[in-house]
Structure 1
C-alpha cells in the first residue's frame, strides 16, 4: 500500500507540474534564449513566438465572427437600441434648447472666440458673390424679358398708370411752388437770351414776370389734361418694352456688383431669423420648436440614420478595416500585457487544468503501483 501511495503522490506531482509548466510555456520565456549561437528549444514561448500571427488571427476573428455586418445590423434595427438612442437625444436636445447661452456663445467657446455671426455673414457674402458672377456669366446674352420673372413684369406694367399719375402730380406741385415758379422764370429768361434780338423785344414788351404768369397756368393745364396722362403712359410703356428687349450685357455696365452683393447680404441678414437667433439665449426662441424637435425630428432622424447605417454597414466596416485595427492594437501589446489579459479571463480554468493534470498523474501512479504489486 505504501508503494501505491508513493506512486500516486509522485504521479500527481509530475502531472500537476507538467500541466503548470505547459501553461507557463504558452507565454514564457518572453524572448528567445541563446547559448552563443544555439537557440534553446521552446524559447520564446508559444504566444510570444506567434505574436504577429495571433494578432492577425484575432483581427480576422473579430471581423468574421464578432463584429459582423449582420450582427451589428440586427442591433441597430432593434427597438431597444433605437428607443434608447431617441431617449438620449431627446434629453440632450432639451439641455441645449433650455440653455441660457446663445448659439454664438457656445460656438465661440468651442472654437476659440470666433465671431459666428461674422463668419456666417462672410460666408453668405461669398455665396451671393459667386451666385451673382455665375448668373451674369451664364445669362449675359439673354434679354431682360427672359430674365425678369413674368409676375414681376406684370406687376411693373400694372404700376405704370400709378407712376404716370405720380410724375404728373409731382410736376404740378413743383410748378405751383415758389421754387418751381422761380426755376420756370430762369428758364424763360435763358430762352429769351438765346433768341437774341427777338428775345429782347419780347422781354421789353411783355416783361419776364408777366410771361411766367402766362406760361405757368398753361403748363399746369397741360399736365392736368387727360391726353397728357395718356401720352406719358404710352411713352413709359414704349420705354419699358425697349428696356425688356435689351440684353443683360447692355445694362451690365450700370450694375455695381459690390453694391448689389452688399444689398442682398444685408437683406438676408435682416429677413432670415437665423442671424438674430444666434445672438439670443436659446431658451428664448426654442420653446416653439421644442415639442416638434423631440416628437418629430429626433425620431425621424434616428430612423433615417439607422436605416442608412444598416444598408451601408458592410461597406462601412470594410472601409474601417477593423481587422487591421485589431491586429495593430494587439501587436502593440507587450507579451506581459497579453499574459495578464489571458490569465485575468482564464485563470480559474488554468488552475483546473493543473489540478486535472495532478489527478490524472495520481491515477496513472495508482495504476502503475497496482501493476507493480501484481507482478511482484
Structure 2
C-alpha cells in the first residue's frame, strides 16, 4: 500500500514538473518583455526569446513575405485569373452606374476637393492655355510662309474650291442686281457718277434720265456677270490672290490684316462660346448616362484588360519600388510584443495547451517509470 502511494506521488510530481516546465517554456517565448538586471548583471533568459530576437524576426518575416508570400509570380497569376477579372469588371460596373446616375454636378465634385469657384478657374485656365499655345505657335512659325504651315491636302482642297467660290460670287452678284435693292443701288451709283462729271453728267441725265439709264445699265451688268469669261476672270483673280497669300509669312499677313490680334480674339470667343460655367453646372449624368451601356460593355472591359496588362508587365519593378521587405520589417519592429503575443496565442492557444498537457503526460509517465524502478530495487 505504501508503495502504491509512493508511486502515485511520483507520477503526480512528474506530471506537474512536465506540465509546468512546458508551460514555463512557452511563456518564456514572450516574457519577460524587457531585460531584467540584478546587481548590474542581466538575468539569463531575459528578455524572452521573441522580444530578444524581434529585429531578426522582423528581417526574416520581411524576406519570407517577399520571397514566398507576396511574389510577383503569385500576384500575376491572381491578376490573370478569369474569375478575378470578372470580379473587377463587376465591381467597375457598380461604380460606373453610381457615377452615371449621379445628380452631382462637376462643379460640386470639384468643390468637394476644395477647389473654390471651379467655373471661373476653369475659364481662366482654358483661356491661358489656349492663348499660350496660340502665342507659342505664332512665335515658332511667324517667319514661315503660309503654304509651309497648312497641310498639303488642305491646300489642294482650297485650289479645288476656287472655281466654286468664283461661281458663288457671280451667283450672289446676279441675284443681288436682279433684285429691287440691287437696282436701286445701281441707280445710286449712276447718279453719284454723273454728279462728279459736272456739265457733261447733267447733259447725259437730261437727255436719258436716271430711270432710263439704269434700265439700260442693269441688263449689261447682268450680261457681264453671266458671261463665262467673267467666271474665268474671277476664278483667275482669286487663284492669283490665293497664290500670293500662300507665299506670305505670318508676319506679312499680320501687317496686312492684323491676324495675330484677330487670332487672340478668336481664342477668347471660343472659350466664351464653350461656356464652361454652363458645362460644369450640369449633372454629370447628363454627359455620362447616354453612354452608360457603351462604357460598361466596351470601355470598362478594355480598361480592365489594359490595366492588368500594364500591372503584370511592370509588377516586379513596382514591388521593388514598394520595398515590401522593409515595410514588413518596420511594422514588426514597431509592433508591441504583448500585442504580438495575443495574436500568436489566439491562433495557437489550443496547440500550446496540448504541448503543456503532453509535458504533464510525459512527466507522469517518467514518474511512473521511476516508481517501478524503485519498487524493483527495494
Q: TM-score range by the shorter chain?
A: 0.7 to 0.9
CA offsets 1:149-199 (integer angstroms, 9 cap, x no match): 222443345212322443576578777437x7557655655x45xxxxxx5
- CA 1:209–1:367 in structure 2 vs 1: closer, same or farther (change >3 Å)? farther
Say which of 143, 154, 163 aligns to 2:160.
154
Q: Does 1:370 align with 2:372?
A: yes
Unaligned 5+ residue runs, structure 1? 193-198
- CA 1:202–1:160 in structure 2 vs 1: closer, same or farther (change >3 Å)? closer
Indicate the residue corresponding to 1:342 in structure 2: 344
**Equivalent residues of 2:162, 2:238 under 8 A apart:** no
- CA 1:340–1:351 in structure 2 vs 1: closer, same or farther (change >3 Å)? same
Please report the RMSD computed on the Cα atoms of aligned residues, expressed in angstroms: 3.3
- CA 1:239–1:311 in structure 2 vs 1: closer, same or farther (change >3 Å)? closer
How far residue 356 of structure 1 moved from its aligned partner, in angstroms, is: 1.4
Q: Secondary structure at the match of 1:159?
A: helix
**Equivalent residues of 1:86, 1:299 under 8 A apart:** yes
Indicate the residue corresponding to 2:11 in structure 1: 8
Say which of 34, 39, 43 aligns to 2:37.
34
Indicate the residue corresponding to 2:46 in structure 1: 43
Say which of 64, 70, 75 aligns to 1:67.
70
State which drifts further: 168-177 or 124-133.
168-177
TM-score computed with the length of structure 2 as normaliser: 0.81
Indicate the residue corresponding to 2:309 in structure 1: 307
How far residue 364 of structure 1 moved from its aligned partner, in angstroms, is: 1.8
- CA 1:145–1:222 in structure 2 vs 1: closer, same or farther (change >3 Å)? farther
Indicate the residue corresponding to 1:263 in structure 2: 269
**Equivalent residues of 2:16, 2:360 under 8 A apart:** yes
> In structure 2, what is the Cα distance between the partners aligned to 1:218 and 1:235?
28
State which drifts further: 361-370 or 114-123.
114-123
Say which of 110, 113, 121 aligns to 1:111.
113
> In structure 2, what is the Cα distance between the partners aligned to 1:36 and 1:183?
126
Say which of 360, 363, 371 aligns to 1:361.
363
- CA 1:369–1:159 in structure 2 vs 1: closer, same or farther (change >3 Å)? same
How far residue 361 of structure 1 moved from its aligned partner, in angstroms, is: 1.5
> In structure 2, what is the Cα distance between the partners aligned to 1:212 and 1:175?
19
> In structure 1, what is the Cα distance between the partners aligned to 2:175 and 2:298?
57
How far residue 137 of structure 1 moved from its aligned partner, in angstroms, is: 3.4
- CA 1:142–1:72 in structure 2 vs 1: closer, same or farther (change >3 Å)? same
State which drifts further: 214-223 or 358-367.
214-223
CA offsets 1:284-340 (integer angstroms, 9 cap, x no match): 554432222222222222222223222322222111111111111112211111111
**Equivalent residues of 1:185, 1:209 under 8 A apart:** no
- CA 1:232–1:77 in structure 2 vs 1: closer, same or farther (change >3 Å)? closer
Q: Does 1:296 align with 2:298?
A: yes
TM-score computed with the length of structure 1 as normaliser: 0.81
How far residue 124 of structure 1 moved from its aligned partner, in angstroms, is: 3.8
**Equivalent residues of 2:32, 2:46 under 8 A apart:** yes
What does 1:275-294 align with in structure 2 at a 5 Å threshold? Answer: 279-284=281-286, 286-294=288-296
How far residue 259 of structure 1 moved from its aligned partner, in angstroms, is: 0.7
How far residue 52 of structure 1 moved from its aligned partner, in angstroms, is: 1.6
Q: Secondary structure at the match of 1:80?
A: helix
> In structure 2, what is the Cα distance between the partners aligned to 1:237 and 1:218?
32
Indicate the residue corresponding to 1:206 in structure 2: 203
Q: Secondary structure at the match of 1:312?
A: helix
